[in-house]
Amino acid sequence: MSEEFEPIIVAFCCNWCSYAGADGAGVARLQMPTNFRIIRTMCSARVDPEFILRALSKGADGVIVLGCHPADCHYIGGNYRARRRIALLRLVLEQYGFDPKRLRLEWVSASEGEKFQTTLTTFVDTIKALGPTPLVKEGQ
Amino acid sequence: MGFLDMFKKKPKADKSAKNTADKAAAKAAPVKSAAKPAGAACASKTAATVEASKLPFSDLVVPGPLVSYKQGFGTPPNGKIKLAIYWAAACGGCDVSILDSNDGVLTVGDMADIVMWPIAADGKEKDIAAMNDGEITVSIISGAVRNTENEHMVKLLRKKSAIVVCYGTCACFGGSPALANLVGGGKDEILDYVYRKTPSTANFQADYHSDSAVVPQNKVDVADGELTLPVLYDTVKTLDQVIDVDYFVPGCPPLQESISYLLKAVADFVYGGVALPPKGTTVGVVTRTLCDQCSRRKEFRRITKIVEPHEIDVDPDLCLMDQGILCLGPATVGGCNAKCTSVGQPCRGCYGPTTAVQEQGASALTAIASLFPVIDDDPTCGEDEIIDIMSTIKDPLGYFYAYTMGKSLIKRSVTEKGGK
């Protein structure tokens, strides 16, 4: 393949911190790769592991979940729950044979547009280094 | 009387006594009677249990007026129907569970000719192939689809049958056979392990066939022609991924009430012309999770350590999760009346996911990950510490997907090929 691999990344952003952080990054006109699609959820704990598995099963090369910093959750403990689930889900993905780096959890607050930019940029680089999703679509 | 004689004679005497009592009780009490002698409950199980059990939020809608089996069976008005029971990749437990419907299974002999039942009857593939399309009224198929023979037979039965019932967890969700999907090397790795590396095989022993391991081939030429064996698939499929299915009966094996309900629905249709349940009905499940049926007291405790049931004195009244035993109840659809948890064993999830989700494993993962308490230093602790906590769950993939790998979103193991 001569063209450079452009990964498809699904980013789940919590409504209260990370989505506002993404907004801030846009308003500040920070340069970012365009490989990610943002899905807004009310809380990072709203991201059911099934959502992540569905994204991967439909061909996403990586999934990133962004939530409020520890102790900043709008719902007090949602991000702690998300952290546990994603840690466990990474173990499950590793057992499937995925590189666990394809799933990442990061904390981005409403004021951290710059962190949003660097997080997404490094994640896109990570996935580019990993290559396309190992999942083989049925019939291929 | 010798021990063996006791073994032989006792059940027979019991059975005849019970049958007499049942018949007497059935004559005395109408089917719908609420106050029923204990003996009659068994006799009228097919008709009454489904109604009497009154599973909350049940999909078990009794179709139309009850046709009482007490009127005597005899040959159905339009002649006997044809029934086929087949196993694909299954252990045979489902076939045995069909017999669990006690005397309800006697209806089958009156109602139907069993044209195929590998475990009990003599029907052959060529007999089925010679039939007209749709000639078989009901085919009950258990087991996942794992090789070419399974696929050929289920497709053949689908073609020849009016109704196909997806019976048991392996057929519905892949079951244990579908865990083979997690072997990265697929069928080659499985065959290599089974025929060359297991210590119990002769191939493994150095002094026996040491230079040419005996591994079954799919084809071999002999004097009389070519002999073939079915070809194993890399990915185990569920029944409805291969053929169109009319009804689902989950369970490992399905509960006796489920098969009784199924038999009753068919008998009502055959004898009384009562309409069958709508296509796609899942028999024997409720819309809530197993926890809703479990009688254990829930204190919603947080756990710090995972234990196996044999490692602790299981409190008979307290929720198993509260005691640190991983139970798939919160992720599993109810319907089994919490048989396992009532005897102190955790639910392993054989009834599959609830209707609201596709992924039973993801639901279980969510529920179990949330069990671990938020610790005091949670705001400051690092990701490694969280991974350490989560690593106390051994083999999460195998545990959460023990029965539903075939219906999971990822379906099989993958291999990273690396970047550019």
| Residue of A114, A93, A131, A31 whose CA lies nearest to B361 | A93
A81, A131, A136 member nearest B420 (Cβ): A131
Residue B17 pLDDT grade (very low, low, confident, very high; cuts 50, 70, 90): very low
In the predicted structure, residue B207 carries a pLDDT above the cut 50: yes
B139 pLDDT band (50/70/90 cuts)? very high
pLDDT, chain B, mean: 79
State which residue of chain B sits closest to A59, comparing Cα positions. B410
CB atoms within 10 A of CB B270: 24
Over its C-alpha atoms, chain B yields an Rg (Å, rounded) of 25
Taking every pair of Cα atoms in chain B, the longest distance, rounded to a whole number of angstroms, is 80
Q: Is B267 a residue whose pLDDT tops 60?
A: yes
Q: What is the CA radius of gyration of chain A?
A: 15
Q: Which of B329, B366, B178, B331 is nearest to A52 (CA)?
A: B366
pLDDT exceeds cutoff 50 at B11:
no
Given a cut of 80, whether residue B212 has pLDDT beyond it is: no
The SS3 call for residue B405 is helix
- From the list B369, B374, B413, the residue facing A97 with the nearest CB is B413
Give yes or no for a contact between B178 and B405, defined as CB atoms under 8 angstroms apart: yes
Q: What structural domains does chain B harbor?
A: 69-174+238-272 (3.40.50.700), 184-232 (no CATH), 287-411 (no CATH)
B278: which DSSP letter? P
Residues of A with CB below 8 A from B354's CB?
none
Q: What separation in angstroms does the CA of B294 have from each of B313, B315, B319, B332, B338?
A: 19, 14, 9, 12, 5
Q: Are B139 and B85 in contact (CB under 8 A)?
A: yes
The CATH class given to the A9-130 domain equals: alpha beta
C-beta atoms surrounding B337 within 10 Å: 16
Span A34-51, average pLDDT: 95
Task: Give B-chain residues touching A97 at CB under 8 angstroms.
Answer: 184, 413-416
Query: B249 in helix, strand or coil?
Result: strand
- Chain A closest CA to B420's CA: distance in Å? 6
Contact call for A96 and B414, based on CB within 8 A? yes
Question: Strand A9-14 and strand A36-41: pairing?
Answer: parallel
pLDDT exceeds 50 at position B59? no
Residue A96 Cα, gap to closest chain B Cα (Å)? 5
Region B221-228: what's the mean pLDDT?
92
Given a cut of 80, whether residue B24 has pLDDT beyond it is: no
**Alpha-carbon distance values, B275 to A60, B61, B340 (Å):** 45, 12, 34
Write out chain A in H/E/C secondary structure: CCCCCCCCEEEEEECCCHHHHHHHHHHCCCCCCCCEEEEEECCHHHCCHHHHHHHHHCCCCEEEEEECCCCCCCCCCHHHHHHHHHHHHHHHHHHHCCCHHHEEEEECCCCCHHHHHHHHHHHHHHHHHHCCCCCCCCCC
Distance CA B147, CA B150 (A): 5
* Phi and psi angles of residue B13, each rounded to the nearest 5 degrees, phi first: -60, -45
Nearest of B232, B131, B217, B132 to residue B177 by alpha carbon? B232
Name which residue leads in pLDDT, B378 or B140.
Answer: B140
Residue keyed to tokens 């099963």: A57
The pTM assigned to this predicted structure is 0.82
* B358 interface with A at CB cutoff 8 Å: yes
Identity of the residue numbered B403: Y
pLDDT tens-digit series, residues B371-418: 887 776 677 777 788 888 888 888 999 999 999 999 999 988 999 887
Nearest residue to B371 (alpha-carbon basis) of B325, B318, B419: B325
